[in-house]
Amino acid sequence: MKRCKIYQSKRRCSTHWQQAIGRLNPNKAQTMKRRIITLCYKKIIDANYSDEWCRNVFAATYQEFKMQAQFYNQQKKHTTYKQMIDDVSGANKLNFLVSAAIIDYLKELNDQVPDVLNNLGRSFLRFRNFQFEIIQSDITNSASHAVAIYFMSQPLIWHDTVGDQMITSENYNDDDCEMIINQFRLSENLGIYTLQTLEI
């Protein structure tokens, strides 16, 4: 309990100190902000992938697409996803329906965003949500099948940018906690998804 009281007192002193700075120097107070971001990584999977996880996702989503497409192609007029989207009401639901095929494969990732590495070559980014999209497909030609999975990361603190490198850490509520920093580059398929600025 004593530790807790000391910690709370420290936090109160820190708050009073920040308020005092704000009264003496409003411009300084305005700089004391924390930027919370989430990132989005777009992973495209098509027939060209060779690793096992992508091959499994490719095969599972193609089979699911062919099965679900039967409902939107009862007159057998269409073969491609685009034709169904353009001509059949409700065919856009195929994205949601086919996404069920990847749930077990996403669990294999243990919440880690694939392919995204920090400057030490280590996987560090965790996701908490995803979206699935059919880019193109053809029930008569598996080679044309391509899908995208959008991985939305857990919140991160964006500390700074050095050159083309972002510097972030996990979003802790404890200001006194030592933070593990990750340094990495944004890329064509990795970008900032949400941004929130908080007063501290």
Domain boundaries, the chain: 1-31, 32-200
Question: Does the pLDDT at position 66 exceed 50?
Answer: yes
pLDDT tens for 72-107 read 999 999 999 999 999 999 999 999 999 999 999 999
- Rg from Cα positions in the chain: 23
- Distance (Å, whole) CA 164 – CA 169: 17
pTM of the complete model: 0.81
Beta bridge partners of 162: 165
148 confidence band (pLDDT: 50, 70, 90)? very high
Average pLDDT in the chain: 87
State residue 146's pLDDT score. 99
CA 142 to chain centre: 27
